[in-house]
Amino acid sequence: MDNIKLFIFDLDGVIVDTAKYHYLAWKEIAEKYRFHFSEKDNERLKGVSRMVSLDILLSIGNLSLPQQEKKIIAEIKNERYKDFISNMTPNEILPGAKEFLETVKLSGFKTALASASKNAGFILEKLNLIALFDTIIDGNSVQNAKPNPEIFLKAAQNVNVIPVHCIVFEDAQAGVQAAKAAGMRCIGVGSPKVLKDADFVISGLDKINLKTLQNILYK
């Protein structure tokens, strides 16, 4: 894989599943405003920023709130989410994720995390994975949420790699679109129906290694 120099990973749904914690925190907000928020609804929030997620949540409840109140709600949600993730352990790393990351690093490739989460660094510390990344770009580092390609372009820029030499691992359609808009190849992690724009789709990082990846890219 001579032309791949940087592996870029999303966090939620690729390395760890914190969607359940987001869901619980958002559900508490919905209950406060007396409307139902389902796990299916929560799928719509994957891969997008906190404020965009709040706008989607409020649209589900047919609510329109002042911007200042929305900022307060977003902060309350984040504090509840942080309460949940503060108890995370390395046992919550998704199957094969740590092993694949270690293999990539040992093989001499650069690695980046590109996550909409503003708590990405904190989560990586709880999982003991932070040392496996050359750069971390999170929701605090960018102005535009996926599907805007900013987060992936910034990750590549931080380690001096051009987009054509990058490959992205993403579980959300917005992330896949962002990767393609950045001019990068993308491996979807999840459902082929949802991630139809990816170059290839796997069910998890336990289903891939560098040899199979090479076969996928150069078949």
pTM for this predicted structure: 0.87
Active site residues: 10, 12
pLDDT values of the chain reduced to their tens digit, one per residue, 219 residues: 679 999 999 999 999 998 889 999 999 999 999 999 999 999 888 777 889 999 999 999 999 999 999 999 999 999 999 999 999 999 999 999 999 999 999 999 999 999 988 899 999 999 999 999 999 999 899 999 899 999 999 999 999 999 999 999 999 999 999 999 999 999 999 999 999 999 999 999 999 999 999 998 886
Residue from 111, 119, 151, 102 nearest 135 by CA: 111
In this predicted structure, what is the pLDDT of residue 53? 94
Cβ-proximal residues to 58 (8 Å cutoff; 6+ apart), any chain: 64, 65, 70
Question: What is the side-by-side order of every strand in the sheet holding 166-170?
Answer: 135-137, 110-114, 6-9, 166-170, 185-189, 200-202
Q: Which domains, from first to last, does the chain contain?
A: 6-16+90-217 (3.40.50.1000), 19-85 (1.10.150.240)
* Torsion sign, CA atoms 51, 56, 61, 67: positive
In this predicted structure, what is the pLDDT of residue 80? 96
